[in-house]
Structures are given as structure tokens and as C-alpha cells.
Amino acid sequence: GAVVSQHPSWVICKSGTSVKIECRSLDFQATTMFWYRQFPKQSLMLMATSNEGSKATYEQGVEKDKFLINHASLTLSTLTVTSAHPEDSSFYICSALVSGQDNQPQHFGDGTRLSIL
Amino acid sequence: QKEVEQDPGPLSVPEGAIVSLNCTYSNSAFQYFMWYRQYSRKGPELLMYTYSSGNKEDGRFTAQVDKSSKYISLFIRDSQPSDSATYLCAANSGGYQKVTFGTGTKLQVIP
């Protein structure tokens, strides 16, 4: 149980385009989802916390107009990287908490490798 | 100082060895401690989840937390080549609070 699916798993696109990444909880409802970024040989850095039906909370230094987050349902959160540039190339990973289960660990998706040419 | 410190390795051990992975943390508010395993180009997979100080065992894996010294450990018995991965320690203060990760230790188990 507690499966999180992320799509796409890999995307390559030209500089200046916008890219949307989906994060779905397949067998549970997730009021809260998280978006992380991971550079090679580095740890996960939290970008933002996404709550269903409300605005995301961004970590310090993360541009909210650059990384648009939408959490319109209890099973889907999306991250849109707007006007992507090569420096946005990274591994983006989402995670989700099972609704109503406080103090339980986050369940992670398999990540999206984003390469901007 | 990072809130969660972890030796990046790499750590190479022969198959069958006992592996010890360790982290230290600085935030006294941390109550929940996690170990994740991450294979290359994949998301983290939860291995162990513990609350406060103490030990927790699951198969070949044992997690230890010592809050007095702010030290967390993961032991892997009878290590297998399939255990080769990066191991991330993590902690938070509970509920829906932000999880802070260590940088990960890369483990290689040699057949």
C-alpha cells in the first residue's frame, strides 16, 4: 500500500519551455504532498509543501512564480517548472502523507529527471 | 552546521558483512527518525521509522536512536549485493513537519 506515482519519469526539453510534473497517490488520499529537488550526489532539498485546496508553502529561496504547484484533489499534486533553463535541470521527487495519519512517514514517488537543453 | 550530518562514503564491504551507517543531528525538536534506501535514479524507499530513543528491528535491519547524544544508526546484517545503494537518514519533529535529510551514504556490497 501507500504507492505514489510520478509522471513523467524523464523529460528533456528546450530552454524556455514549461514542464509539468504529476504526483499521484494511487491507493490513499493525501491532503499533504511535498516536492523535493535533488542534485547529483546531494541530498533531497525540500522545495515546497502542497496542501489540497490551498496555496503551497515554499521554502526560503524557492521562487514560487518559477515553480508553480497545484494540489486540486486529494490524490494529485502538480509541479510546473515555468520557462525552464539549464540550471533547472535536476531530479524532482514528490512525497505524500496519508490523510488522517499523523506522525507517519512520507511515501515517495520514483522521481522525474528533468534535462533542459 | 547542517541539521543532519551523514558521512557520504562510499563504503565498501564484502557480502555477508555487518554494515553500520550513522548520522548525527543538531535539532533537539526532532522526534521521528527515518532511514531510506535510494537506488540510482529512483525515489527513496522507506526502510525504518522510529520514534524517540530506542531500537527497532525489521529482518536484517536494525535502527537505533540515542537522543541524548543525537546519534542515529542503521545496522544491516548479512549484507547482500542487492543492498548496494545510497542510504539516507532523516528526521523531523512530527506530524506534518518538514523532514530534514542527511546527504546519504553510498554503500557497495561486494560479492
pLDDT in tens, B20-53: 999 999 999 999 999 999 998 899 999 999 988 8
> For residue B64, is pLDDT > 80?
yes
* Closest residue, chain A, to B30 (C-alpha): A103
Per-residue model confidence (pLDDT) at position A102: 67
Interchain contact A7–B (C-beta under 8 A): no
Per-residue model confidence (pLDDT) at position B25: 96
Residue pair B76/B84 in contact (Cβ under 8 Å)? The answer is no
Cell representation of residue B38: 535510494
Nearest to B104 among A43, A93, A103 (CB): A43
Per-residue model confidence (pLDDT) at position A72: 84
Residue that has been written with the C-alpha cell 524507499 in this structure: B45
Q: Minimal Cα–Cα distance from B42 to chain A, Å?
A: 5
CA distance B103 to B9: 10
Residue that has been written with the C-alpha cell 486540486 in this structure: A72
CA distance A36 to B10: 23
CB contacts, 8 Å: B88 with chain A: 43-44
Interchain contact, B51 vs A103, CB within 8 Å: yes
* Closest residue, chain B, to A93 (C-alpha): B43
Per-residue model confidence (pLDDT) at position B95: 66
| Angle A2-A49-B22 from CA coordinates, rounded to 5° | 70
Of A98, A99, A94, give the one whose Cα is nearest residue A109: A94
Residue that has been written with the C-alpha cell 541539521 in this structure: B3
> For residue B98, is pLDDT > 90?
no
* Closest residue, chain B, to A32 (C-alpha): B96
Interchain contact A103–B (C-beta under 8 A): yes
Interchain contact B29–A (C-beta under 8 A): no
CA A97 to chain CA centroid, nearest Å: 13
Nearest to A113 among B34, B41, B104 (CB): B41
